[in-house]
Amino acid sequence: MYYCYLATPIGDLLLAGDDQALSLIGFPEGSMRRDPDPDWIYNEEPFTAARKQLLEYFDGQRTEFELPLRLSGTEFQMLVLEELQRIPYGETASYGDIAARIGNPKAVRAVGAANGRNPIPIIVPCHRVIGGGGDLTGFGGGLDTKAALLRLEAESRKFMGAS
Protein backbone atom coordinates (compact mmCIF):
# COMPACT_ATOMS: atom_id res chain seq x y z
CA MET A 1 0.00 0.00 0.00
CA TYR A 2 1.24 3.46 -0.90
CA TYR A 3 0.49 6.63 1.04
CA CYS A 4 1.13 10.34 1.11
CA TYR A 5 -0.18 13.42 2.83
CA LEU A 6 -2.06 16.37 1.39
CA ALA A 7 -2.10 19.75 3.14
CA THR A 8 -5.67 21.13 3.12
CA PRO A 9 -7.61 23.82 4.99
CA ILE A 10 -8.85 21.11 7.40
CA GLY A 11 -5.36 19.75 8.06
CA ASP A 12 -3.07 17.16 6.50
CA LEU A 13 -5.09 14.33 4.99
CA LEU A 14 -3.58 10.86 4.71
CA LEU A 15 -4.21 9.33 1.27
CA ALA A 16 -3.61 5.60 0.83
CA GLY A 17 -4.13 3.05 -1.87
CA ASP A 18 -2.28 1.26 -4.62
CA ASP A 19 -1.31 2.30 -8.11
CA GLN A 20 -4.83 1.49 -9.32
CA ALA A 21 -7.20 3.12 -6.82
CA LEU A 22 -7.57 5.24 -3.71
CA SER A 23 -8.74 3.17 -0.75
CA LEU A 24 -8.42 5.46 2.28
CA ILE A 25 -8.48 9.07 3.38
CA GLY A 26 -7.53 9.66 6.99
CA PHE A 27 -8.22 12.86 8.90
CA PRO A 28 -5.62 14.57 11.08
CA GLU A 29 -8.02 14.45 14.08
CA GLY A 30 -11.13 12.62 15.23
CA SER A 31 -12.11 8.97 15.14
CA MET A 32 -11.01 8.63 11.49
CA ARG A 33 -7.51 9.85 12.29
CA ARG A 34 -5.14 7.36 10.80
CA ASP A 35 -1.40 6.81 10.63
CA PRO A 36 0.21 4.76 7.89
CA ASP A 37 0.91 1.14 8.71
CA PRO A 38 4.62 0.36 9.12
CA ASP A 39 4.76 -1.62 5.86
CA TRP A 40 3.20 1.15 3.73
CA ILE A 41 5.46 2.96 1.28
CA TYR A 42 5.50 6.76 0.99
CA ASN A 43 4.88 7.61 -2.66
CA GLU A 44 2.99 10.66 -3.96
CA GLU A 45 2.86 9.52 -7.59
CA PRO A 46 -0.16 7.17 -7.35
CA PHE A 47 -2.15 10.05 -5.85
CA THR A 48 -1.48 12.76 -8.44
CA ALA A 49 -5.12 12.87 -9.64
CA ALA A 50 -6.55 12.55 -6.13
CA ARG A 51 -4.36 15.35 -4.81
CA LYS A 52 -5.26 17.62 -7.74
CA GLN A 53 -9.00 16.95 -7.44
CA LEU A 54 -9.04 17.38 -3.66
CA LEU A 55 -7.20 20.70 -3.93
CA GLU A 56 -9.72 21.81 -6.58
CA TYR A 57 -12.52 20.79 -4.20
CA PHE A 58 -11.03 22.85 -1.37
CA ASP A 59 -10.60 25.78 -3.76
CA GLY A 60 -14.32 25.59 -4.60
CA GLN A 61 -13.60 24.61 -8.20
CA ARG A 62 -14.71 20.95 -8.10
CA THR A 63 -18.11 19.58 -7.12
CA GLU A 64 -17.65 15.95 -8.23
CA PHE A 65 -14.71 13.57 -8.12
CA GLU A 66 -13.60 11.36 -10.98
CA LEU A 67 -11.24 8.91 -9.33
CA PRO A 68 -10.89 5.14 -9.17
CA LEU A 69 -11.89 4.10 -5.66
CA ARG A 70 -11.47 0.80 -3.84
CA LEU A 71 -14.33 0.76 -1.35
CA SER A 72 -14.69 -2.05 1.13
CA GLY A 73 -17.34 -3.18 3.57
CA THR A 74 -20.30 -5.45 4.00
CA GLU A 75 -23.05 -5.57 1.39
CA PHE A 76 -25.11 -3.18 3.52
CA GLN A 77 -22.19 -0.79 4.01
CA MET A 78 -21.55 -0.77 0.27
CA LEU A 79 -25.21 0.14 -0.37
CA VAL A 80 -24.87 3.06 2.02
CA LEU A 81 -21.58 4.21 0.48
CA GLU A 82 -23.12 4.10 -3.00
CA GLU A 83 -26.08 6.16 -1.80
CA LEU A 84 -23.80 8.72 -0.14
CA GLN A 85 -22.24 9.37 -3.53
CA ARG A 86 -25.66 10.41 -4.84
CA ILE A 87 -26.03 13.31 -2.39
CA PRO A 88 -25.44 16.41 -4.52
CA TYR A 89 -22.66 18.85 -3.71
CA GLY A 90 -23.78 21.47 -1.23
CA GLU A 91 -26.86 19.51 -0.15
CA THR A 92 -27.51 17.28 2.83
CA ALA A 93 -29.57 14.20 3.61
CA SER A 94 -30.53 12.68 6.94
CA TYR A 95 -29.66 9.18 8.10
CA GLY A 96 -33.37 8.41 7.73
CA ASP A 97 -33.33 9.69 4.14
CA ILE A 98 -30.46 7.35 3.30
CA ALA A 99 -32.15 4.40 5.01
CA ALA A 100 -35.32 5.02 2.99
CA ARG A 101 -33.38 5.41 -0.26
CA ILE A 102 -31.73 2.02 0.16
CA GLY A 103 -35.09 0.43 0.85
CA ASN A 104 -34.64 -0.14 4.58
CA PRO A 105 -36.31 2.82 6.36
CA LYS A 106 -35.89 1.28 9.84
CA ALA A 107 -32.11 0.94 9.45
CA VAL A 108 -31.30 4.50 10.56
CA ARG A 109 -28.76 3.43 13.18
CA ALA A 110 -27.15 0.92 10.83
CA VAL A 111 -26.85 3.68 8.21
CA GLY A 112 -25.14 5.83 10.82
CA ALA A 113 -22.70 3.02 11.63
CA ALA A 114 -21.95 2.39 7.94
CA ASN A 115 -21.52 6.12 7.37
CA GLY A 116 -19.04 6.21 10.25
CA ARG A 117 -16.97 3.44 8.64
CA ASN A 118 -16.62 5.24 5.31
CA PRO A 119 -12.95 4.70 4.35
CA ILE A 120 -12.87 7.54 1.79
CA PRO A 121 -14.56 10.58 3.35
CA ILE A 122 -14.95 13.81 1.38
CA ILE A 123 -14.88 11.92 -1.94
CA VAL A 124 -17.62 9.64 -0.63
CA PRO A 125 -19.39 12.58 1.05
CA CYS A 126 -20.43 11.26 4.45
CA HIS A 127 -20.11 14.84 5.74
CA ARG A 128 -23.37 15.60 3.89
CA VAL A 129 -25.34 13.31 6.20
CA ILE A 130 -27.00 15.07 9.12
CA GLY A 131 -29.39 14.22 11.92
CA GLY A 132 -33.13 14.08 11.31
CA GLY A 133 -33.62 17.46 12.95
CA GLY A 134 -30.96 19.07 10.77
CA ASP A 135 -28.28 18.91 13.46
CA LEU A 136 -24.68 17.97 12.80
CA THR A 137 -23.99 14.57 14.27
CA GLY A 138 -20.92 12.36 14.57
CA PHE A 139 -18.16 12.67 12.00
CA GLY A 140 -14.83 10.85 11.78
CA GLY A 141 -12.91 14.09 11.32
CA GLY A 142 -14.73 15.85 14.16
CA LEU A 143 -17.80 18.08 14.05
CA ASP A 144 -15.72 21.20 13.37
CA THR A 145 -14.36 19.55 10.23
CA LYS A 146 -17.85 18.47 9.15
CA ALA A 147 -19.12 22.02 9.62
CA ALA A 148 -16.15 23.40 7.66
CA LEU A 149 -16.82 21.04 4.72
CA LEU A 150 -20.52 21.91 4.63
CA ARG A 151 -19.71 25.62 4.88
CA LEU A 152 -17.18 25.32 2.03
CA GLU A 153 -19.78 23.69 -0.19
CA ALA A 154 -22.51 26.19 0.72
CA GLU A 155 -20.22 29.15 0.03
CA SER A 156 -19.01 27.65 -3.25
CA ARG A 157 -22.60 27.04 -4.39
CA LYS A 158 -23.43 30.68 -3.65
CA PHE A 159 -20.42 31.81 -5.64
CA MET A 160 -21.41 29.51 -8.53
CA GLY A 161 -24.88 31.04 -8.55
CA ALA A 162 -26.67 27.91 -7.33
CA SER A 163 -29.70 28.37 -5.15
CATH of the domain at 19: 3.30.160
Is 65 a member of any domain? no
Taking the C-alpha atoms of residue 110 and residue 163, their distance in angstroms, rounded to an integer, is: 32
For 17, other C-beta atoms within 10 Å of its C-beta total: 23
> pLDDT digit string (tens) for 83-99?
999 999 999 999 999 99
Please state the domain count of the chain: 2
Domain that holds residue 86: 75-160
87, 61, 27, 3: CA torsion to nearest 10: 110
The verdict on 154 and 97 lying in the same domain is: yes
Mind listing the pLDDT tens digit for each residue in 33-83?
A: 889 999 999 999 999 999 999 999 999 999 999 999 999 999 999 999 999
* 17/54 same-domain check: yes
Q: Exactly one of 126, 129, 130, 150 is catalytic; which is it?
A: 126
If we measure between CA atoms, which residue out of 36, 81, 89 comes closest to residue 58?
A: 89
Is 4 labeled as catalytic in the residue annotation? no
Give this prediction's pTM. 0.90
Strands 93-94 and 129-130: parallel
Same domain, 47 and 92: no
Could you say which of 12, 28, 58 is where a domain stops?
A: 58
